[in-house]
Amino acid sequence: MQKRRIGRTDLFVSQICLGSMTWGEQNTEAEGHAQMDIAFARGVNFIDTAELYPIPPKAETQGRTETIIGTWMKARGNRGDVVLASKVVGRTANEWFRGGRPSKLVRADIFDAIDKSLKKLQTDYLDLYQIHWPERPIPWGSNPTRVGAADQADGPADETPIAETLAVFDELVKAGKIRHFGLSNESGWGLMRFVAESDRQVGPRAASIQNAYNLVNRTFEVNLAEACRREDVALLAYSPLAQGYLTGKYEDGALPKGSRKQLFDRLQRYETPNAAEAFGAYNALARQFGMEPALFANAFVTHSPVVTSNIIGATSIAQLETALDSAEVDWSEEMRDAVDAVHQRVGNPCP
């Protein structure tokens, strides 16, 4: 599997990254281990997790995913072969992360998060440590197609300055707890503010940004793509299947037993007006090219020129194999042109 460099770092990661947010909720420890075994046998060397996981976030399950990854690396003795990424939560009123109090992107909370993550992962360092979402109040995903009055409201008076947060990550690098720093669910303004502070030697340069990117959400291309290209920041794309809607399994109102929508009903990001039309168009296009929709949607992300690594997710081995197969698709100019023609008509219904 092709390896690609993350930003200006010395990290070379597979074009597919193994996402992990179902492990500890929809998947058992044994199933998580099996997924990692298969993915690494197929050439993957990159795993992404978060202190928040598994999804949906709950006090009683929080941290299970990191624990599952830790037991796998210990059992296989392969920590040196794994590019390991995790995330610290942004500002949240949920108190279970910090033992009974809300969390912010301040020194005490970030150090608490990294130390807990390292213990669960049974390692003394992370290759990449990311801010899961910004502390300032912005629309989830950070790249809306419209901005309303509520989105223009000032943040809380005690909002942590970006420079203060970045300085903490500088401490983590110097302490050897992390090798590199990344962002997630961040906007163009936020990315450039972090870059500016790193240019002032406040802290490490952002090596990556982990944002949603898929057939129904290409908002990354509007301004972040240029910023990332010119500043050497890698896109780690999440949600390539739009939480399952680009697999075709929810077509015509279907609700498969065991699906995330049936279990948790947390897919509102992909249930916006006109989204159904877009899903239908892309799923039909995939079949016209002789591919199942899940393979086609993953291949679009895996082979996109703006993507460094496609973060896949699966609850079954069959789903995992399909996602991994996307690296072997001969993504043609004809496919790209056909996708762009649909996008010209339907836009980005699910930012």
Per the document, the length of the chain is 351
Query: Tokens in use for 217?
Result: 């959400």
Report pTM.
0.97
Distance CA 214, CA 189 (A): 21
> What is the percent of the chain with per-residue pLDDT over 90, rounded to a whole number?
92
Residue closest to 274 by CA, chosen among 223, 342, 175: 342
282 is a catalytic site residue: no
DSSP state of 198: H
Chain CA centroid to CA 334, Å: 28
Residue closest to 227 by CA, chosen among 5, 7, 2: 7
Q: Which of 53, 129, 213, 238 is catalytic?
A: 53
For the chain, give every domain's residue range: 3-346
The reported pLDDT for the residue numbered 299 is 98
The reported pLDDT for the residue numbered 152 is 73
The reported pLDDT for the residue numbered 140 is 85
One-character DSSP codes across 54-103: SSSP-TTTTTHHHHHHHHHHHHHT-GGG-EEEEEE--SBS--TTTTSS-B
* Mean pLDDT along residues 328-341: 98
Q: Which CATH number fits domain 3-346: 3.20.20.100, 3.40.50.450, 3.90.1420.10, 3.40.50.300?
A: 3.20.20.100
* Mean pLDDT along residues 172-197: 98
Predicted confidence (pLDDT) per residue in 140-154, tens digit: 887 888 887 777 778
Distance CA 199, CA 211 (A): 23
The reported pLDDT for the residue numbered 277 is 96
Cα–Cα distance list, 149 to 138, 143, 153, 154, 177 (Å): 12, 15, 7, 11, 40
Within 13 Å of residue 47, how many CA atoms lie on the same side as its CB?
A: 28
